[in-house]
Amino acid sequence: MIFTLLGTKMSEDIFCRSLPKIELHAHLNGSLSEKTLRKLGCLDESILEYHKLLNIINKTDRTLDECFELFKIAQTATSSKNSVYLATQSVIEEFAQDNVIYLELRTTPRAENDMTKQEYIESVLKGIKDSKSDIIVKLILSIDRRHDKVCSEDSLDVIVKMREEYPGIIKGIDLSGNPYVGGFDECLFSKAREHGLRTTIHCAEIPNDNEVQQILNFHPERIGHATSIHPDFGGSKENWQLYCKAKIPAEFCLTSNVVCGTSKCYAEHHIQQWMKNDLPFSINTDDKGVFCTSLSKEYEHVLNNFDLSKADLWNITYNAIDHCFASTEEIILLKKKMAEWKETHAQYF
Ligand code: 6MZ
């Protein structure tokens, strides 16, 4: 469908691409495009393996576990300080090319070969600082839920230390990883919070009422996916009531959910409950490399599958600014940018 107003035409895909966007949920290694993997000089065999595995997610009976196999392959591309640095720069550049004006990149610090967790973080920070793209980038450091207490506490110590050195870039901590493995350690996240880190937690990617309740009671600043909270999507009535009171902004990643099979299809995505009940949310990519998507494409899916106008889509982005972990000055700047864009593109609304 082509939007026509005052004789001006702008197709949905061009509108979604040119709209300034806010990305709050992007995992660094899951965001590596094929182009970036090639740039990193991955061995042909590992690229071949990557593509063999990409077929896993394209088949109809793929599983979440199979999707997690893909991350291991992507991580082989970033096993040195230089490759982490180049990967970070490349991912930032691709988001900027898609007109993302604010990016919160998240990644799990890894000690590998001759690289320590601290060096991994330093390489990502260097990639952010050296980026020439016109985009604000912040860093969220992830704790993998499959890691044991000792490993997670060690990661937190490094994260806290690095955050003290780079408070303008390192903004928060995330809990991610295969939702079938491990769990939420409230003590660890409370400790992170005491050190001034904001928290975002992958929550209810699969049904798990006890854990969802624990996470909602902890009240992180944001939650990722939020798939199985509403009773229509496998959650309990009590947790949905708890959520509606807490109104924690949710980070939605539609393609990721559809490909992993945790959502049946775009039109039946749980985002509909947030729209219906006027609850806070943002639209994100999750892993644009692994799921072959972009933030523009995610916006298009939302526009095409729900009864929304272009002004609604602009509002969704604008409101997401309030969920981000940027400074007050940066938030004001982002809002100004969005307002200016709306003004100069008024004929498309
Ligand atoms: C949960 C996910 C995820 O950290 O090496 N990750 N965790 N659910 C998801 N939905 C599909 N997608 C990615 O990026 C890859 C890591 O991000 C987490 C997983 O822990 C994965 O290993 P980094 O940059």
Domain that holds residue 179: 3-348
The closest alpha carbon to 80, from 126, 31, 121, 113, belongs to: 113
Give residue ranges with CB within 6 A of ligand 1. 27-30, 67, 71, 75, 107-108, 142, 144, 176-177, 202, 205, 256, 260, 286-287
CATH of the domain at 121: 3.20.20.140
For a mutational test of ligand 1's pocket, the pick from 24, 63, 71, 259, i.e. the residue with the most ligand atoms closer than 8 A to its C-beta, is: 71
Q: Per-residue pLDDT tens for 31-52?
A: 998 888 878 876 455 555 666 6
Q: Per-residue pLDDT tens for 151-210?
A: 999 999 999 999 999 999 999 999 999 999 999 999 999 999 999 999 999 999 999 999
For a mutational test of ligand 1's pocket, the pick from 83, 117, 123, 176, i.e. the residue with the most ligand atoms closer than 8 A to its C-beta, is: 176
pLDDT at 62: 61
CA-to-CA dists, residue 285 to 55, 75, 85, 112, 258, angstroms: 19, 18, 21, 27, 12
The position carrying tokens 């107003």 is 5
Looking only at the bridges linking them, the beta strands covering 8-11 and 100-107 are unpaired
- Rounded to the nearest angstrom, the distance between the alpha carbon of 67 and the centre of ligand 1 is 10
Token representation of residue 319: 């409101």
Of all protein residues, whose CA lies closest to atom 22 belonging to ligand 1? 71
The position carrying tokens 């490993």 is 151
Q: Per-residue pLDDT tens for 128-155?
A: 999 999 999 999 999 999 999 999 999 9
Least confident window among 32-46, 77-91, 236-250 = 32-46
Let me know if 104 is a catalytic residue: no
The closest alpha carbon to 313, from 4, 15, 52, belongs to: 15
Domains contained in the chain, number: 1
